[in-house]
Amino acid sequence: MIILILLGAGAYVGWNIGANDAANCVGTTVGCGLISYKRAVILVSVFVIAGSLVDGDHVMKTIGKGIVSQQLDYLAIFVALLCSGGFVTLATFYRIPTSTSQAIVGGVLGIGLATGAQIQYSKLIIIAESWILCPILVMGLAYGLYFLLTMFIKRLRVGTLLVQNALGWLAVMSACYVSYSMGANNAGNAVGPIANLGIVHPQILLGIGGVSIAIGALTYGKKVADTVGKGITPLDIPGAFVAQMSSAFGMHLFSILGIPVSTSSAIVGAVVGVGLVKGAKSISKKTILTILVGWVLTPSLAAVTAFFLYKFLKGFFI
């Protein structure tokens, strides 16, 4: 029964990831009017599950025992999952693309401090540095790619319609790549704390993580998609393609390295990079500021809440 409750909590985190981060996969494609949200989210579901099963184990190991090296008790894992999922639910309700990676890392850190477990601070520093490096890397890549692509399109002598159709297909394919990368990087966030116990087969955990992310995208992902696709800067089809390819590359790279990065920061960084080519005035500074505040508060509040909630529940049950 305890294991089923923990798996349910992991599925809840996965649902939150899908609800908040589906926008990072298809928000730009939907925002530029290239594909309907219903069709886009079906693609997300398929490729998220594939990414979870094929490449999700790297991040799962980091979340499982890379931050807190020793085995945690059942209550600690449940509280870490509950707190991280709760903050993402709140952000999704207010249409803010937050970081599920930051939420779960904050939750695990808070639990580690509450239990007095040994915390791998060197690994935490690497993860925190990647949260800064990833959006900057992706923003620079998106800026360069979009600048070159717009110059290339202007010099083409073929029909504009043909170019738009080709880029449209590329944008849809890049959305599939983003979805794959999101599954690879985020399934481990959902079930990593459960992997700390070492009693459920990793592929089963990754399957649960991938499916729950897909369900979240299907049931509650449209709200944040509007913020990513339209709220930061207006996107055309080339912009959507570049933003998705850049963010997917960044996420996939860090997934292979086993570092849980923010899917939201990757796509937001890419969209900002595209917006900078158009001019800084095209970027909604209010939306960017709201997102940045959410990124800072999410891991901090998740850690503090997990710490005090665990202390309270532990004392109550004792």
pLDDT for 218 equals 83
pLDDT for 139 equals 92
Could you state, in order of their start, the residue ranges of all structural domains in the chain?
11-298
pLDDT for 9 equals 92
Mention every residue, 6+ apart, whose C-beta is less than 8 A from residue 98: 20, 87, 88, 91, 92, 264, 291, 294, 295, 298
pLDDT for 280 equals 67
Instruction: Write out the two tokens for 121.
Output: 């601070």
Distance CA 196, CA 187 (A): 14
- Kindly list the distances between the CA atom of residue 194 and the CA atoms of 120, 169, 250, 252, 311, in Å, as whole numbers in the listed order: 18, 39, 26, 23, 20
Sequence-ordered alpha helix ranges (H) in the chain = 2-31, 37-55, 57-61, 74-93, 100-115, 121-155, 160-195, 202-220, 222-226, 237-256, 263-278, 285-317
Distance CA 272, CA 73 (A): 42
pLDDT for 303 equals 92
Residue with tokens 């890549």: 141
pLDDT tens column, 266-290? 888 888 888 888 776 667 677 777 7
Residues of the chain below pLDDT 50? none
- The structure's pTM equals 0.78
pLDDT for 228 equals 57
Supply angle C-alpha 303, 136, 46, rounded to 5: 75
pLDDT for 224 equals 63
pLDDT for 227 equals 58
Q: How far apart are the first and last CA of the chain?
A: 20
pLDDT for 157 equals 63
Helix (H, G, I), strand (E, B) or coil at 15: helix
CA atoms within 13 A on the CB side of 78: 15
